[in-house]
Amino acid sequence: MTKKKPTILVVNDDGITAPGIKVLLEVMQEIGDVVVVAPDSPQSGMGHAITIGKPLRLDKISIYEGVEMYKCSGTPVDCVKLAVNKIFKGKKPDLCVSGINHGLNYSINVLYSGTMSAAVEGAIEDIPSIGFSLDDFSHTADFSHCRKYIKAIALQVLEHGLPKNTLLNVNFPNIREEIKGLKICRQANAKWFEEFDERVDPYNREYFWMTGKFQLNDRGEDTDAFAITHGYVSIVPTQFDMTAHHAIPELNSWSFEV
């Protein structure tokens, strides 16, 4: 009896025509039956935003031969929601993969990332989900060294599943030499220190352009930042339960007098 191929939802935040999603869908085609749902334009930094108060459009398109593809007018999270409800019609895919993002989504960046939020939404829907990112913002980024690792990680997730309410955040270093291997990591402690460049438009109206510096405050050798810097693929098990469980006992000791 022939084993049924897994169904795989491919999403991203860089847009349906981004080079990274082409590589990801090609790798997934080696594993199962692929459906692509992605934003019709770049949606980087959208986090877990959803569209409320205006229509969402979902159009079937043909970009790559033999691939079922849809472009969505909404956010990466909208793409997952529409895929589950309107394309799969509640019969959920076996795997959701997001990316490959142009640029890292390690450390605190996971909170801002549309790529990771799409994967988070997949996990909320009880679909085993993975977000993939590469340390290269270039439109001509070389993803070739990512392919075998993406396939290996996806196959393991399909075989073993993931703990409930958990997804994987996978980041690739941008190196030409051989990757040293995979590291299971924790999220590094870091933050962005924003600066806002003040400018004036041709109509003499003031506007701001956000810039900033990424400051890593974590020197641990078990972090995603350390792994990437030292030539490893980082894999961080990520959850969407944001409860600070360790703080509950302390808060219970407070006296809330009103």
The reply to whether 152 falls in a domain is yes
Q: pLDDT of 14-56, one tens digit each?
A: 999 999 999 999 999 999 999 999 999 988 888 899 999 999 9
Q: Domain count of the chain?
A: 1
CA atoms of 101 and 95, how far apart (whole Å): 18
Return the CATH number at 19.
3.40.1210.10
pTM summary value: 0.93
Encode burial over 106-115: b for 16+ CB neighbours within 10 A, e otherwise: bbbbbebbbb
Domain range enclosing 234: 7-187+219-242
Question: Please, which residues have CB within 8 angstroms of residue 248's CB and are 6 or more apart in sequence?
Answer: none
The reply to whether 207 falls in a domain is no
Q: pLDDT of 44-96, one tens digit each?
A: 888 899 999 999 999 999 998 889 999 999 999 999 999 999 999 978 999 99
